[in-house]
């Protein structure tokens, strides 16, 4: 039934990396985080919600961005 767990994990991780590359390299239109490095350095960051295929903003730090 489908792929083994390990392969599925790898696929998700790969998707996540591609998502981050598309969304966080260079100037970020979405506000707040601008680069991969910033993303790693901030406690506050958008979280990738795999199931919904969309970014979920950490509510605790929304204030900082708006």
- The domains of the chain are located at 5-65
Which phi and psi (to 5°) does residue 46 adopt? -70, 145
pLDDT confidence tier of residue 1, bands split at 50, 70 and 90? low
Reported pTM: 0.31
pLDDT at 60: 47
Per-residue model confidence (pLDDT) at position 16: 72
Give 15-66 pLDDT, tens digit per residue.
777 776 666 544 445 545 444 444 454 444 455 444 444 455 554 444 444 3
pLDDT attached to residue 28: 46
The residue length of the chain stands at 66
């Amino acid at each position: 039934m489908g792929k083994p767990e390990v392969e599925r994990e790898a696929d998700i991780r790969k998707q996540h990396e591609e998502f981050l590359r598309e969304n966080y390299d260079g100037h970020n239109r979405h506000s707040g985080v601008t680069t991969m490095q910033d993303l790693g350095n901030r406690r506050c960051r958008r979280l990738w919600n795999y199931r919904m295929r969309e970014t979920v903003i950490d509510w605790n730090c929304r204030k900082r961005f708006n």
